[in-house]
Amino acid sequence: MTENIILLSQCETGDAVVIESISIQGVMRRRLLDLGFIKGAYVDVLQKSPLGDPTAYRVNNTTIALRKEESSHIFVKKLKEDAL
């Protein structure tokens, strides 16, 4: 079952995922939670910058840019593409 869990930083543009867990503590964890990156939240990967960092994500109908340093602590599960 854990083979389907990947890091948010590994997702590609156009992916739709759901957050499984966040493995960071302190101020950064509080910031991510305040932005809506909570367990069970749906996230769309919108766009990567030309150099790949940061990446724009949509969570709770808000677009937020995260650096790999931040998104590499968020574990997600890809939503099935054929589930409409």
pLDDT at residue number 80: 75
CA separation for the pair 49, 11 (Å, rounded): 14
pLDDT at residue number 2: 55
Which CATH number characterizes residue 41's domain?
2.30.30.90
Tell whether 83 is covered by a domain. no
Residues (pLDDT < 70) of the chain are 1-3, 81-84
Tell whether 44 is covered by a domain. yes
Tell whether 14 is covered by a domain. yes
Tell whether 35 is covered by a domain. yes
Tell whether 71 is covered by a domain. yes
Tell whether 21 is covered by a domain. yes
Q: pLDDT digits over 31-49, tens only?
A: 999 999 999 999 999 999 9
Tell whether 84 is covered by a domain. no
Q: How many domains are there within the chain?
A: 1
**Token reading at 12:** 């590609």
pLDDT at residue number 84: 45
Domain that holds residue 53: 5-78
CA separation for the pair 84, 70 (Å, rounded): 30
